Chain A
Amino acid sequence: MAFIDVKKGQLQCKIVYYGTGLGGKTTNLRFLHKETDPKKRGKLLSLETETERTLFFDFVPISMGKIKGLETRFSFYTVPGQSFYNLTRRAILKQVDGIVFVSDSQVSRMEANIDSILNLEENLQTYGIQLKSVPHVIQYNKRDLEDTVSVDEMRNELNRYHVPDFEAVAIKGEGVIEAMGMIVKMVTEKVVFDLKL
Chain B
Amino acid sequence: MTDESHKSSLHREASELGSRPVHSEEEASVTAEKDDSIGFLEVDDHQSEEIREIFGTAFPQYLQPVEEMLEQILTGHGDTESLEALNGMLSSLKSATERMGFDDAYKLLDDLHESISDLEPELGAPMPTEVREAILGHVIAIRDLAEQMSGGQVGDPGQQKTIYAALKDKKGVGDLVLRRLSAAGLVTVDQLLAARPDEVSAVTGLSQEIVHKLIRLLEADDAAASEEVESLHGQAAEKLRTEVELEARVEDLRAEARRLRARVHERNAELDSLHLGLAAMKRELDSLSSKMAERGAQLERIRARRDALSRKVLSSEEAMRRHECRLEALCRERRCLMQQADGLGRAISGLFGSLRKMRMLVVKGGMQDAR
Residues of A within 8 A of B (CB): 3, 5, 8, 10, 12, 14, 21-22, 27, 30-47, 49-53, 55-57, 59-65, 72-73, 75, 80-85, 87-88, 91-92, 94-95, 112, 164-167, 170-174, 176-178, 180-182, 184-185
Contacts and interface: CB of A to CB of B under 8 A. Distances in A.
Contacts, number: 220
A87 B194 CA distance: 14
Contacts of B39: 33, 38, 41-44, 60
Return the 8 tightest CB-CB contacts between A and B, nearest first: A173-B28, A181-B14, A84-B191, A91-B57, A44-B36, A42-B41, A88-B58, A181-B10
Contact of A36 (B1, B18, B157, B186): B18
B99 interface: yes
B346 to A, nearest CB: 113
B183 interface: yes
Contact of A51 (B1, B47, B251): B251
Given A35-B19, A56-B54, A91-B57, A173 B32 contact: yes
Nearest to A55: B185
Contacts of A177: 10-11, 14, 19, 21-22
B369 to A, nearest CB: 143
Given A92-B54, A173-B31, A51 B204 contact: yes
Contact of B11 (A41, A164, A181): A181
Contact of A62 (B1, B18, B194, B202): B18
Given A50-B180, A177-B10, A65 B96 contact: no
Contacts of A72: 17
Contacts of B54: 56-57, 88, 91-92, 94
Given A39-B40, A42-B39, A44-B36, A182 B10 contact: yes
Interface string B38-67: 111111101100110111011001000000
B47 A12 contact: yes
A53 B203 CA distance: 6
A33 B36 contact: yes
Contacts of A92: 54
A172 B29 contact: yes
Given A41-B39, A42-B42, A62-B18, A51 B32 contact: no
A72 B42 CA distance: 14
A22 B183 CA distance: 18
The residue in B37, B54, B92 that gathers the most chain A C-beta atoms within 10 A of its C-beta is B54
A47 B184 CA distance: 11
Given A43-B36, A43-B38, A91 B202 contact: no
Given A50-B183, A181-B17, 19 more contacts: A8-B44, A30-B36, A34-B31, A35-B21, A37-B19, A38-B40, A41-B41, A47-B100, A50-B184, A50-B252, A50-B255, A55-B203, A56-B96, A59-B47, A82-B200, A91-B150, A173-B32, A174-B25, A182-B10
B58 to A, nearest CB: 4
A81 B196 CA distance: 12
A31 B32 contact: yes
B2 A167 contact: yes
A34 B1 contact: no
Given A31-B28, A56-B58, A82-B202, A173 B22 contact: yes
B130 interface: no
Interface residues of B, number: 70
A87 B58 contact: yes
Nearest to B7: A178
B253 to A, nearest CB: 11
Contacts of A36: 18-20
A97 B185 CA distance: 27
A31 B41 contact: no
28 contacts: A8-B44, A12-B47, A33-B39, A34-B32, A35-B20, A35-B21, A37-B20, A38-B38, A39-B40, A41-B40, A43-B39, A44-B36, A49-B183, A49-B185, A49-B203, A50-B180, A50-B251, A50-B252, A53-B203, A82-B196, A82-B202, A84-B199, A112-B196, A166-B2, A167-B2, A172-B29, A174-B28, A181-B10
Given A49-B203, A55-B184, A64-B17, A91 B34 contact: no
Contacts of A60: 39
B1 A166 contact: yes
B65 to A, nearest CB: 13
A184 to B, nearest CB: 6
Interface string B99-113: 110000000000000
A7 to B, nearest CB: 11
A84 B192 contact: yes
B16 interface: yes
